[in-house]
Structure 1
Amino acid sequence: MSSRGPGTRATHQALPPAMRDAVDGFAVHLAQVRNRSAHTVRAYVADLVSLLDHAVRMGCTAPADLDLGVLRSWLAKQRTTGAASSSSARQAAAARTFSGWAHRSGLLATDVAAPLATPKTRRELPVVLRADQVATLVESPGRNRPTTQGRDRPTTPGHDRPTTPGRDVPPAALPDAPPAGTPSDPTTGGATPELDPAEEAVLVRDRALLELLYATGARISEVCGLDTTDIDRERRVIRVLGKGNRERTVPYGLPAQRAVDRWLAAGRPELAGPDSGRALFLGARGGRLHPTTARRIVAGYARAAGLPPTSPHGLRHSAATHLLDGGADLRAVQELLGHSSLGSTQIYTHVSVERLRAAYRQAHPRA
């Protein structure tokens, strides 16, 4: 198993053999024993390579040479480079996780990182859209018609290239566009051209994507990872594989059901190709829709509709906040979002309290 990303390969190869073996063993432990996501493995391994490189510069030749002073020196150096508090917290967590694993594996005599303090991070309140703004966003495909230049659009029939996961061409940010039918296209004498079936299919997909993101509050990676078999149309729920490969069942509403049904009946068959497999959402070339592409789709429609800058995670924030504003139980929202800790969900109660406070100041005679 390779434990190096493009940014850490050279440094990893420059480490002493014992250090390299420790990096590879730690990566296997994270992926296969701790069942961490590929993103977490990459981040922790990159932090470990940076730590061990720093240790080598301080005279260490093997993991057994590490001590608390080396770890603190490395973290201090990271802070002097302007690392964000969230990055510092992750680096400290990576150091503690490695130290604990190395001690259990016999590479360290003691767990040297046990006394290591975690830098406090400031939790920013998420920016959420109002319900009417979300409605504007999810209804944008077909209303605020985006231009096809630079975005996820079908290729000429017969010339579609196979697309591998992660390589689907992401669309550029969608520019502001007039509503469909507005005389605005100089190449057609002022008339907006009709879309061909494949381009219509992309709009149908975009509507279903936006509806499902808001209806379920799921992460963009979770939605893009859905297969057609993960949808239970009778019970109106989806089966989501979340962080740590934890599976959960999430309900969705009638608007999302209508949009997904239309996509499955009239949109997906138009884009499907040899590389589609069972993927629910497809890119314009027939491969599974990549999260990067989906993020740009969401951001583009938000810009075209004149809304605040919005991401798929913003829709997740909005869904959670609207549920709590509507009286949903906090633990139910935790289950819906797939949070392992209730503390991760409680941030949305702060958003609701802020809205309550704003309404109080505006409406109460003695506020």
Structure 2
Amino acid sequence: MGTRRSDHRDTPADLPGRLAAHLEAFVVHLDRERGRSEHTVRAYRGDVASLLRTVPGDDLAALDLGVLRAWLAAAHAGGASRSTLARRAAAVRTFTGWAHRTGRLPTDPGDRLDSPRARRTLPAVLRADQAAELMDAASSGAAEEDPVALRDLALLELLYATGVRVAEVCGADVDDLDRTSRTLRVLGKGGKERVVVHGVPAERALERWLAVGRPALARPDSPPALLLGARGGRLDPRIARKVVHDAVAAVPGAPDIGPHGLRHAAATHLLDGGADLRHVQELLGHATLSTTQLYTHVTVDRLKVVHDQAHPRA
């Protein structure tokens, strides 16, 4: 299972040659050496390009703490949110640290750069009954064996059963699926592979998709992708997001969520069912437990059950 990265070597035309070369080298570092996700590479590239446009005299050596602070202050004055400012600061700190280590800067000005912390908020989550209604509706829509409907059902079942990211499921190949053990091998952030498990409903949806739906959409030049688009290419994550949004919108009272919302629902419902937080961490592919704690929560009802069972004076 290989990485399927895009070519990021599209440096802004308005940057002077020397600064453009520094930016290009940094992008290559993020992509090939650090193994950052395509989304992160794109975001950091844009942030650093924005910073480099403000460097006095088009000389990287002129990049100091004052330039960094002025750049962030201008973004704040322009209405940038706390989360955007936090991301931009993280991007330029990564850049200046790399530039210092590679001899492009005599010191690392980003090491002293402060920025507001992004407010961490939990996304809305489907209730378990709403998730069941979502899958029932998708299953009914696939009853006529329409290949796209079969694919959409397999997509929804996999996202909810495994908690994988939309890019991970769209990047998976047929050979990454082990139907005997009901597992799927995915490539996560930083190029890290992991194996996730799914249950019988997802396996049934996959069986119908692979037997009927995929052969109907596949073409001689189709990739080995597990999920295909309507024209026989690898399913685009943007199309997958639309599929999820449209399907959830049809469930009465359900919050407006996309694939990440299904990921959050999967983790939450696992915890509600008694799963250990570290097992959920492994399923989601989080590097640290604190990240899992951010994207999952235990409902008040679950806390009451635990309290009633465990506390001597419940």
TM-score by length of 2: 0.89
Instruction: Report which of the two structures shows the higher radius of gyration computed on alpha carbons.
Output: 1
Distance 2:87 2:208 in 1: 42
Instruction: Structure 2: give runs of 5+ residues left out of the alignment.
Output: 1-6, 307-314
Q: Which residue number in structure 1 is paired with residue 4 of structure 2?
A: none
Amino acid at match of 1:141: A
Q: Which residue number in structure 2 is paired with residue 168 of structure 1?
A: none
Tell whether 2:38 aligns with 1:38: yes
Identical aligned residues as a percent: 54
Match of 1:324 among 260, 271, 275: 271
Tell whether 2:18 aligns with 1:21: no
Deviations 1:60-108 (A, max 9, x none): 3211111101001101111111112111111001111111111111111
Q: Which residue number in structure 1 is paired with residue 291 of structure 2?
A: 344
Distance 1:346 1:327 in 2: 15
- SS where residue 54 of structure 1 aligns? coil
Shift of 1:355: 5.4
Deviations 1:269-326 (A, max 9, x none): 1111123221111111111111111111111112223333221111000000011111
| Aligned residue runs from structure 1 range 1-367, under 5 A | 2-4=8-10, 12-55=12-55, 59-141=56-138, 143=140, 200-306=146-252, 307-349=254-296, 351-354=297-300
What is the count of residue pairs matched by the alignment? 299
TM-score by length of 1: 0.77
Deviations 1:240-293 (A, max 9, x none): 101111000001111111110111111111111123221111111111111111
Would the alpha carbon gap of residues 258 and 331 (structure 1) be closer, same or farther in structure 2, given more than 3 Å must change?
Answer: same
- SS where residue 250 of structure 1 aligns? strand
- SS where residue 282 of structure 1 aligns? coil
- SS where residue 45 of structure 2 aligns? helix
Distance 1:354 1:292 in 2: 34
Amino acid at match of 1:324: L
Alpha carbons 1:3, 1:23 under 8 Å: kept: no
CA RMSD of aligned residues (A): 2.1
- SS where residue 122 of structure 1 aligns? coil
Amino acid at match of 1:25: A
Would the alpha carbon gap of residues 337 and 16 (structure 1) be closer, same or farther in structure 2, given more than 3 Å must change?
Answer: same
Distance 2:68 2:301 in 1: 42
Would the alpha carbon gap of residues 355 and 110 (structure 1) be closer, same or farther in structure 2, given more than 3 Å must change?
Answer: farther
Amino acid at match of 1:228: V
- SS where residue 327 of structure 1 aligns? coil
Alpha carbons 1:140, 1:207 under 8 Å: kept: no
- SS where residue 265 of structure 2 aligns? helix
Shift of 1:2: 4.7
Distance 2:43 2:155 in 1: 28
Amino acid at match of 1:51: L
Deviations 1:133-170 (A, max 9, x none): 0011112125368xxxxxxxxxxxxxxxxxxxxxxxxx
Alpha carbons 1:144, 1:304 under 8 Å: kept: no
Q: Which residue number in structure 2 is paired with residue 186 of structure 1?
A: none
Would the alpha carbon gap of residues 75 and 359 (structure 1) be closer, same or farther in structure 2, given more than 3 Å must change?
Answer: farther
Shift of 1:126: 1.8
After the TM superposition, list the runs of 4 or more consecutive aligned residues in structure 1 that deviate by more than 6 angstroms. Answer: 357-360
Alpha carbons 2:130, 2:251 under 8 Å: kept: no
Shift of 1:15: 2.5
Alpha carbons 1:16, 1:62 under 8 Å: kept: no
Would the alpha carbon gap of residues 341 and 142 (structure 1) be closer, same or farther in structure 2, given more than 3 Å must change?
Answer: closer
Instruction: Structure 1: give runs of 5+ residues left out of the alignment.
Output: 146-179, 181-194, 361-367
Distance 1:267 1:144 in 2: 13
